[in-house]
Amino acid sequence: MSNSSNKSALLVMDMQNSIVSRYVDNDKLLSPFQQSIAFARDQGIPVIYVKVAFRAGFPEINPNNKMFGNTRNRAGSMTIPEEMTQIHQSVEPREDEIIVNKLRVSAFTGSDLDVILRSNHINTLILSGIATSGVILSTLREAADKDYTIKVLSDACIDPDPETHRVLIEKVFPAQAEVVTVDEWIISQNHS
């Protein structure tokens, strides 16, 4: 497929208050996210935000789910209207940008993301978010199975374990995605 038929979207995933506050201890870590969002907007590339949030009472959560099962015990912290599920102010969406609610780790699971992407003829996904070993890995795998072209912005991904991040970025992701820094992505876009 030629580049002229590729339509991209930047996915900014799990950059919500509850998650950013756990993993980001300085503004420098957020700079690549801000830079990629600003560039995408400037280039007319859609920016789509993905967050995890549940209904009151958590009917979507099975207690057998190791990752989300304990959420039921945290009084309302992950429900749709709560402050902790809102997108962090450092990467705040514009009014015209789409916010997708998901129900599991992958951006596709329990969301309408695939419908939105296909309805807008988007076939290339640029992935960013927290955590590399969570939403990035799960979304990359599912997007690859759905035949999307994938780019991972290596410095716009954060993981609590630097070694896990390194192994995924250097050894695992390149089998299914192009892995680039935000600066490399910007340069490649300016030369295409």
Query: What is the per-residue pLDDT across 91-117, written as a single tens digit (0 to 9) for each?
Result: 999 999 999 999 889 999 999 999 999
- Please, which residues have CB within 8 angstroms of residue 66's CB and are 6 or more apart in sequence? none
CA 89/CA 41 separation, integer angstroms? 17
**Distances 118 to 25, 32, 39 between C-alpha atoms, Å:** 36, 27, 23
Q: Give the range among 51-60, 149-158, 180-189 with minimum mean pLDDT.
A: 51-60
User: Among 10, 6, 7, 3, which Cα is nearest to 41's?
Assistant: 10
Tell me how far apart the alpha carbons of residues 175 and 152 are, in angstroms, rounded to a whole number.
12
Beta strands in the chain (DSSP E): 8-13, 47-52, 98-102, 124-130, 149-158, 178-180
So what's the pLDDT on residue 74? 55
Top mean-pLDDT range of 6-10, 25-29, 56-60:
6-10
Q: Flag whether pLDDT at 2 surpasses 50.
A: no
If DSSP codes are grouped into helix, strand and coil, which group holds residue 141?
A: helix
Mean pLDDT of 55-77: 66
What percent of the chain has a predicted confidence (pLDDT) above 90? 70
pLDDT given at position 22: 86
Q: What is the dihedral of CA 119, 97, 39, 177, to 10 degrees?
A: -40
Answer yes or no: is pLDDT of 39 > 80. yes
**Hey, what are 122's tokens?**
């988007």
